[in-house]
């Protein structure tokens, strides 16, 4: 067992994990943060997307021990002070989800692409979401949600 320290959703945690544990396994199994999902085993589907040190990463492909000292944010930590994050609200408002399984990863990617200044027009958003697979929505309402969530994020920060 290795001991690591992480800041998870704003709170410092000391964890013990096996060297071969992935970050998503630690989040789900030890911390019971089950909003981060696993949909594939080849780093393609993006259901496990979280933020590590401010960047969207696939938590299925990160060894937990290598995240020692990192600042991790999961879907559970996205909302501040109990109010939903604008991107979460936009996904609801635009019917940007159906079964909900890919949704946390999709939202974490969406927030990242807005934070990093991706062009906010449909084709750029579609390209920027190519690391997240959704089988339900046909993506159209997801794109609409990201557009709406982005403009609300920008309004909030201005």
Partner 1 sequence: MYQFKVHKADKLSTALDLFNASDEPAYIAGGHTLIPTMKQRLSAPSDVIDLATIPGLDAITLVGDTLQIGAMATHAKVAASSLVQEHCAALANLAGGIGDRQVRYRGTIGGSLANNDPAADYPAAALGLGAQIVTDRRTIPSDTFFKAMFETALEPDEIIQAIHFPQVDQAVYLKFPNPASRYAMVGVMLTRTAGETRIAITGAAASVFRAATFETALTADFSVSAIEAVTLSAETLNTDMHASAEYRAHLCKVLIQRGVEALTA
Partner 2 sequence: MSGSLIGKRVLRKEDHRFVSGKGRYTDDIQLVGVTYAAFVRSPYARADIKSFDVSEALAAPGVIAVLTGEEVVKDGLGGLPCGWMIHSKDGSEMRQPHHPVLAADRVNYLGEPVALVIAETQLEAKNAAEMVMVDFEPLTAVVNPATASQAETLYEAVPNNVCYEWELGDEAATDAGLAAAAHITTLQLTNNRLIPNAIEPRAALAEYNSGTDEIILHTTSQNPHLVRLIMTAFVQIAPEHKLRVIAPDVGGGFGSKIFIYSEETALAWAAKKLGLTIKWTAERSESFLTDAHGRDHVSEAQLALSAEGEFLALKVKTIANMGAYLSTFASAVPTYLYGTLLAGQYRTPAIYVEVDSVFTNTAPVDAYRGAGRPEATYLVERIVEKAAAEMGLDPAELRRRNFIGRDQFPYQTPVALEYDTGDYEASLSKALEMADYDTFATRQAEAASRGKLRGIGLSCYIEACGLAPSQVAGALGAGVGLWESGEVRVNPTGSVTVLTGSHSHGQGHETTFAQLVADRLGLPIEDVEVVHGDTGKLDFGLGTYGSRSLAVGGSALSVAADKVVEKGRKIAAHLLRTDVDNIDFDAPVFKMLDSNESKTFQEIAFAAYVNHDYPSDELEPGLAEKAFYDPLNFTYPAGTHICEVEIDPDTGVVEVVQFVAVDDFGTIINPMIVEGQVHGGLAQGIGQALLEQAVYDDTGQLITGSYMDYCMPRADNFPDFKVGMTCTPCTHNPVGAKGCGEAGAIGSPPAVMNAITHALGGIEVDMPATSEKVWRAVQTMRTLKTA
Could you list the residues that contact partner 1 (CB under 8 A)?
2, 18-20, 22, 41-44, 46, 49, 55-58, 60-63, 65-66, 109, 112-113, 128-132
**Which partner, partner 2, partner 1, none, binds residue 63 by CB below 5 to 8 Å per kind?**
partner 1
- Whose Cβ is closer to partner 1: residue 55's or residue 99's? 55
Instruction: CB nearer to partner 2: give 69 or 121.
Output: 121
Q: Which residue has the tokens 């408002």?
A: 93
Under a CB-based contact definition with an 8 Å cutoff, are residues 62 and 132 in contact?
no
Measured at the CA of 40, the angle between CA 106 and CA 16, to 5 degrees, comes to 90
The residue ranges that bind partner 2 (CB under 8 A) are 18, 20, 28-29, 32-42, 44-45, 47, 74-76, 78-79, 84, 88-89, 91-93, 95, 97-104, 107, 122-123, 125-127, 129-130, 132-143
Give me the least distance between CB of 86 and partner 1, in Å please.
20
CA gap 98, 141 in Å, rounded: 10
Contact yes or no for 69/3 (Cβ under 8 A): no
Closest CA to 108 of 141, 69, 149: 149
Cβ neighbors of 70 (< 8 A, separation 6 or more) are 6, 7, 52, 53
Compare residues 5 and 121 and give the one whose CB is closer to partner 2. 121
Minimum distance from CB of 82 to partner 1 (Å)?
Answer: 28
């Amino acid at each position: 067992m290795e001991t690591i320290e992480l800041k998870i959703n704003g709170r410092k945690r000391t964890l013990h994990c096996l060297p071969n544990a992935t970050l998503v396994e630690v989040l789900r199994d030890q911390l019971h943060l089950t909003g981060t999902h696993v949909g594939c085993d080849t780093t393609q589907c993006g259901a496990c997307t979280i933020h590590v040190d401010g960047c969207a990463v696939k938590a299925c492909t990160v060894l937990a021990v290598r995240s020692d000292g990192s600042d991790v944010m999961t879907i559970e930590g996205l909302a501040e002070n109990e109010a939903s994050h604008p991107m979460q609200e936009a996904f609801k408002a635009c019917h940007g989800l159906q079964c909900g399984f890919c949704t946390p990863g999709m939202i974490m990617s969406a927030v990242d692409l807005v934070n990093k200044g991706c062009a906010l027009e449909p084709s750029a958003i579609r390209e920027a979401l190519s690391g997240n697979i959704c089988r339900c929505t046909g993506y159209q309402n997801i794109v609409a949600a990201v557009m709406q969530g982005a403009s609300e994020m920008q309004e909030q920060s201005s």
